Structure 1
Amino acid sequence: MFTIDISLKMTPMPASIQRKNQEDAEAAYQQVLEAMRTGQPDLLELTCEQVPNKRVTLRSSEINAVQIYQKPGTSAASGRAPGFAGILSE
């Protein structure tokens, strides 16, 4: 299972969707990336393959970052899910 996390401005938790195979996950990742590149305040609607009726609609101008990763079959060794990290410069 592949997970695509989308970080939004002024929102502490990312929006996530899942895809069963790598090709579909890459296509969803590229769809979000293209929405970020355009910079237009268009709506981006995504669906999830793991949760059948899960849908999320995002304003593309509010997307900060996107990441894709493969969810392991068992619990992660560190016990934490991958996520975004912020580094502040002083």
Structure 2
Amino acid sequence: MSHLLPTSFTLLFEQTNHGAFIGCIEEIPELIRVKGDTFEQARRALYNELRLLFVHLPHPENIRIQTRVRLWLTRAKQARS
């Protein structure tokens, strides 16, 4: 699945017992600053890529990863302020 993601995103995947993938983002400061992207551009690009994963996740896992991603993005934005 990682071939679907842009190289600017570092995503680690672990197999869950549902056979779905949960993504974990690292290097948030680098992620947000890739190629001069603004925070909003980076956020939109990240959600667009992760949406491919959300489609295959059971509902509770879907909510869990979206919540995690929002938290990481909020922290990254605060760190840049």
TM-score (norm 1): 0.30
TM-score (norm 2): 0.32
Rg comparison, structure with higher value:
1
The answer to which structure has the higher strand fraction is: 1
Q: Relative contact order: is structure 1 or structure 2 higher (C-alpha 8 Å, sep ≥ 6)?
A: 1
The answer to which structure has the higher helix fraction is: 2
